[in-house]
Structure 1
Amino acid sequence: MRDAYIVGAGQTAFGSFPEESYRSLFATAFDRAMASADALSPEDIDEAVVGTLGVGGRQIGLSGPAVTEHVGLSVPTTRVENACAASGYAVRNAVQAVKSGMADVVLAGGYEVMTDASGDATKYWLGVSGETEWERLTGTTFAGTYAQMADAYLHEYDATVDDLSRAAVKNHANGAKNPHAHLAFECSLEDASEGTVVADPLTLYHCCPTSDGAAAVVVASEDVVDDADFDAARVAGVGAASDRVGLFERDTYTSIPASERAAEAAYEMADRNPGDVDLAEVHDCFAIAELLAYEDLGFCGRGEAPELLREGATDPDGDLPVNVSGGLKSKGHPIGATGAGQVVELWKQLTGRAGDRQVADANLALAHNVGGSGGAAVVTLLEGDQ
């Protein structure tokens, strides 16, 4: 199969934008992606794949064609809904289309408007990312599900609430340097550990915000890249996996097996291993999710994630910087845009466009996007031109 490349990427700021619609947000991300892939025009796009959950009832109808029509594209459009992994899967589908030869240029992205709904309504829509009958309808919230995972982890391993807080402190410090971040401010370890309890042991600072936003990337074939001058990052590998949607149905609370299997598939396609990764954006919807990701992705052994944080290994100047964008915790989590937004950040890093967040000498970068509490996961490996 042909190689596929990310040749352009763009996103909106993530935050609360009451004056915006999902169409206008996507248009901004699309315009920025196309401006960065300036050797291409909209007429070069063969098809589009877009992701969204549809918070507030927008899951009904043709919101995919609605956004592509709004930006002037008359191309086949597929909408992906895989909870929080929607646009991570959209990128994967775009890569598949290019690698297979069915398309030369594919637009992939995602969008979500979350802040126009009430807190109770948003909590409901977040809840449907998990198992409905036995979790959501019996009162379990999204935070409550991850709190169960955090509680199990703290009991099974040498870990404390402060270790969860270290992930939050790191990501807030990173997000403070990101002009697109929803919560672009720093916090202290004390702030995070002693914050308002949302679902014990998780405090407010251990939980990502609900955000509005959109992100888009342009995926092109090796033939297109050979014919023009692009700032391109090669898609070295991509892997995806599914699992039981309900946490109670799984064998473990201290791992997300779908993440582990998705990573294995991506590493195999790229002929790489976890030790080759220079930079990662992982799905930290809650602080415990970042610790689990370190282990599921093979960055350390089981129970060793707290040590990576204590040693500063995942700080921007550490051996493996993680979530230099601020992650979901600080950058924000507009559900349908999150996975594509991770790829936008990595493309910027690999092409030297990350500004104050720039990580020096990164060549292999990993994006890790999870749906719900682990019912779906997708891992993408991008390779720079260094």
Structure 2
Amino acid sequence: MNREIYIAGAAMTPFGRHANSSMQDLTQAAVLGAISDAGIDPDDAQAFYAANVYGGMVLGQVLLRDLGITGPPIYNVENACASGATAVHLARQALQLGLYDTVIVFGVEQLTKLGGGTIPLQRNDYKTELYAQQGMTLPTVYAMRGSRYLYERNLGMDVLAHVAVKNRANGARNPLAQQRTPVTLEEVMASRPIAEPLTLLQCCPSAVDGAAALVLTAKKPASGRPRVRILGSAVLSGHIEEGCDDILDAEITARTARAAYEQAGLGPRDLDVVELHDAFTIAELLYYEALGLANRGEGADLLLSGATEIGGRVAVNPSGGLLAKGHPLGATGVAQMVELVWQLQARAVGRQVEGARVGLAQCTGGGIAGVDHAASAVHLLGV
């Protein structure tokens, strides 16, 4: 069944430290906000998709029970950082198959409860122990990519810092972002070293809480706003990389993007706005190339030209991205699409991409030994 799937409502909490709020509080704010935004009753939702990484078993049922919502099917989705995007993908599939007419997808996380520090590597992968013994963490993995990128392109370390300057400037315009202070190139370069060439301001915050929610429906929304449709949705896993793999080749993202573009009948040149997974500054440059925004080796040129700023050819991370908005794992993929909905409906006050009609959200998830990423999700939205 080939049904048009719409996003009728979108909402999220501010991302940051919520010491006085429970996960139930965060979920309630996002879910009820999306329901209100869609102009529906809670009983209109025939199923719920709950995305989370560290909340424990049957979290969706626990959180929705405390909202007084019990009875409908509740699907708990965990796919590392791509959990929220994967939940949207699965919800869209169910709607297209005609299983439901209206569903709610939400993602939530409270990373501040974990005590801070880097997110641990995959603990149930027996090969990960070998990586950990060599000092491997996610910052060091991306630092190696950054070092290789700068070496192969003959670029200075300041190129990576330009990503942080752009995205934190965007975050300063977003009232829901965790980091709302613009930074200069000099401040980024002088911030505490994490893993060369990455400094503190080039890494997304790891202590962050937040929730985001979407109402997906096969019914045409009745509101006077532009109707946002999901034009393409793809989720894939990584290939095993034998021998000396190219650490600058984000093959899983390129593969997933191709699948989403093909579904939508669109290409990179059709995009007006992009929310991508900039957990570290180097990631944004790699994903420029993987998504087809720039040719191989030309990601830095695209950035420095100003083409990815608000007002440029294709605005990338106008929300501030993970670097400024924050990265509460289970909520991230959903929040990226909340931002796109607001952009496509001209509701992104203070950071609006004028005339935006097509947006792309890209989220990767998880690192397991010998594989680029465990999961990748790409969604195309349009009006």
TM-score (norm 2): 0.93
Residue in 2 that maps onto 1:177 = 173
Deviation at 1:133, TM superposition (A): 2.9
Residue 124 (structure 1) shift: 4.8
Confirm or deny: 8 A CA contact 2:121 2:128 kept in the other structure: no
CA distance in 1, matches of 2:100, 2:243: 39
DSSP 3-state at the match of 1:365: strand
Residue in 1 that maps onto 2:246: 252
Is 1:107 matched with 2:118? no
Change (3 A) 1:155 1:236: same
CA distance 1:81–1:235, shift in 2 (3 Å)? same
Label 1:250 to 1:261 Cα distance change in 2 as closer, same or farther (>3 A): farther
CA contact (8 A) 1:83 1:129 kept: no
Alpha-carbon distance, 1:128 to partner: 5.2
Q: Which consecutive residues of structure 2, in runs of 5 or more, have no partner in the other structure?
A: 368-372
1:197-244 CA deviation, whole Å, 9 max, x = no partner? 1011110011000210000001100xx216x33633010111121115
- The answer as to 2:22 corresponding to 1:27 is no
CA contact (8 A) 2:50 2:59 kept: no
Q: Is the 8 Å Cα contact of residues 49 and 77 (structure 2) preserved in structure 1? A: yes
Distance 1:276 1:303, change over 3 A: same
What residue in structure 1 maps to residue 377 of structure 2? 378
Q: Which residue of 2 aligns with 1:13?
A: 14
User: In the alignment, which residue of structure 2 is the partner of 1:41?
Assistant: 41
Offset at residue 51 of structure 1 (A): 1.1
Map of 2:149 onto structure 1 = 153
1:85 corresponds to 2:79:
no
Q: Does 1:344 align with 2:338?
A: yes
- TM-score (structure 1 length as normaliser): 0.92
Moved over 6 A (4+): 247-250
SS at match of 1:379: strand
User: Identity of paired residues, percent?
Assistant: 39
**For 1:1-28, what per-residue CA distance to the aligned partner results, in whole angstroms no more than 9, with x for missing partners?**
1111111010000001111121211111
- Taking the aligned partners of 1:249 and 1:316, their CA distance within structure 2 comes to 40
Give, in whole Å, the separation in 2 of the partners of 1:93 and 1:362. Answer: 26
Paired residue secondary structure (2:245) = coil
Equivalent of 1:335, from 325, 329, 332? 329
The structure-2 alpha-carbon separation of the partners of 1:296 and 1:307, relative to structure 1 and needing over 3 Å to count, comes to same
CA contact (8 A) 1:129 1:372 kept: no
Stretches of structure 1 that go unaligned for 5 or more consecutive residues are none
**Is structure 2 residue 234 aligned with structure 1 residue 233?**
no
* 1:213 match: secondary structure: strand
Q: 1:215 to 1:70 in 2, by over 3 A?
A: same
The residue type paired with residue 41 of structure 2 is: S
CA distance in 1, matches of 2:97, 2:144: 41
Moved more, 137-146 or 161-170: 137-146
Q: After the TM superposition, which of the residue ranges 123-132 and 101-110 deviates more from structure 2?
A: 123-132
1:114–1:7 CA distance, 2 compared to 1 (3 A): same
Deviations 1:284-318 (A, max 9, x none): 00001111110000001111010111110000011
Per-residue deviation, 1:257: 1.2
Aligned to 2:307: 313
Q: SS state of the match for residue 91, structure 1?
A: helix
Do the aligned partners of residues 12 and 97 (structure 1) sit closer, same or farther apart at CA in structure 2, a change above 3 Å counting?
same
Structure 1 CA distance, aligned partners of 2:46 and 2:242? 42
* Corresponding residue SS for 1:208: coil
Question: How far apart are the structure 1 equivalents of 2:151 and 2:354?
Answer: 37
Corresponding residue for residue 263 of structure 1 = 257
Q: 2:275 corresponds to which letter in structure 1?
A: E
Matched, 1:213 2:214: no
- 2:358 paired with 1:358: no
Query: Which residue identity is paired with 2:136?
Result: T
Matched letter for residue 76 of structure 2: R
Q: Distance in 2 between matches of 1:167 and 1:129?
A: 33
Distance in 1 (alpha carbons) for counterparts of 2:312 and 2:124: 33
Question: Which whole-Å CA distance do the structure 2 matches of 1:127 and 1:185 have between them?
Answer: 33
1:151, distance to aligned residue in structure 2 (A)? 1.5
Alignment partner of 1:367 is 2:361: yes
1:163-174 aligned at under 5 Å gives the runs 163-174=159-170
After superposition, the CA RMSD in angstroms is 1.9
